[in-house]
Structure formats: C-alpha cells, structure tokens
Amino acid sequence: MKDNVLMRVAARWNIPFMVMFALYTQVHGELGPGGGFQAGVIIAAAFILYGMVFGAAEMRRIVPRKVTDIAAVLGVLIYAGTGVYALLNGYQFMDHVALMPSNPGAAEPWGMTSVEYGVGITVSAVMITIFNEITEGTDEPRLGGDTEIVPAPQENKTEIG
C-alpha cells in the first residue's frame, strides 16, 4: 500500500483523529462508555493503520520493540501498583480508599483512573507488539518495485545437423 497515494493521504488525515478519539475515550472512560481497553485498542489501531499503509519496517522504526516492551510493563505496573499500594497500607487489593483515606469519595475516581490508564497503556503496547511480530520479515523488496529485474542467463545451444 506504500504506492497508493489515496491510502497514504487518508491515513495521514485520519490517524490524528483516531488518537484524539482514543484520548477522549480514555479520559471519559469512568464517566461513560469507554475506558482503558477501548482507548488502548483505538491507539493501537492508529499505529497499525500507519504500519499497513507505510510499511511494517517504518512502523517498527517509529515504535521499536523496546518501546512497546517498556510500555507493556509500565501499564501492568500501574495497574497492579494501584492494588499493591492498597495492600501495603493495610487495605484490600484494589481498595481505592487507600489512596485518600481522609476522603474516600474522592479516592474511587483516582483509583479507577489509574487502573484504566494502566490497562490502556498495556493493551495498546501488546496490540502493537502483536502487529510487529506478525509482520516481521515481510518487508523484503518486491519484483517490479525498486529492485532491478535481471534476466536469467541463456544457455548457448547449437543445433547439430
């Protein structure tokens, strides 16, 4: 699809809107439909669209494996860290009151927000990693592209008779 101008233009126009919608879904997830999982998938879809249109090698160049590995671990640490913090302070796992014991009503939104951010980061990193793993090694030059086609050598046949 790298040669398709229409796809490149459509992707360049739509990817920023996809990312903005994902951020909106992430931020408003505890108030309405959406949340970390949905936002993570939308962000990953934006990057995967980029990879499909501009090539998997280009995608791996802008989001290398090390970045997705760190992001996946960071997301899990944010998610689990919220629960472990409660345990270390004498509360039950994921009891968000531990975040603000003096104001339990305000603690719940903060706890859910941190959990949703952890889920969003993890899901987007894992989805991008899956795309990168599936497309690894698929960016070899195609015939008719930038490669030069060299004809096979002809055998020297002489007719007898």
CA angle 125, 129, 130 (to 5 degrees): 120
Q: Is the pLDDT of residue 153 over 70?
A: no
Count Cβ atoms below 10 Å from residue 84 Cβ, excluding itself.
Answer: 13
Residue 125, domain extent: 5-135
**Residue 19 is assigned to a structural domain of this protein:** yes
Q: Do 45 and 18 form a contact (C-beta atoms < 8 A)?
A: yes
SS3 31: coil
Structure-token pair, residue 81: 């860290």
Transcribe 47-64 into DSSP letters. HHHHHHHH-HHHHHHHS-
**Residue 154 is assigned to a structural domain of this protein:** no
**Residue 88 is assigned to a structural domain of this protein:** yes
**Residue 61 is assigned to a structural domain of this protein:** yes
What single letter denotes the amino acid at residue 49?
L
**Residue 160 is assigned to a structural domain of this protein:** no
Q: Find the range with the poorest average confidence among 18-22, 84-88, 96-100, 138-142.
A: 138-142
**Residue 43 is assigned to a structural domain of this protein:** yes
Q: Return d(Cα 39, Cα 45) in angstroms, integer.
A: 10
Q: Return d(Cα 81, Cα 6) in angstroms, integer.
A: 45
Looking at per-residue pLDDT, the higher value among 27 and 153 belongs to: 27
**Residue 95 is assigned to a structural domain of this protein:** yes
**Residue 118 is assigned to a structural domain of this protein:** yes
Q: Find the range with the poorest average confidence among 23-37, 124-138, 143-157.
A: 143-157
Q: Return d(Cα 61, Cα 143) in angstroms, integer.
A: 23
Longest dimension (CA), the chain: 107
pLDDT one-digit tens code per residue, 31-65: 777 788 999 999 999 999 999 999 888 899 999 99
* Number of domains forming the structure of the chain: 1
Q: Which residue matches tokens 């793993």?
A: 133
Q: Do 59 and 136 form a contact (C-beta atoms < 8 A)?
A: no
Looking at per-residue pLDDT, the higher value among 36 and 17 belongs to: 17
Q: Is the pLDDT of residue 144 over 60?
A: no
Q: Return d(Cα 78, Cα 48) in angstroms, integer.
A: 24
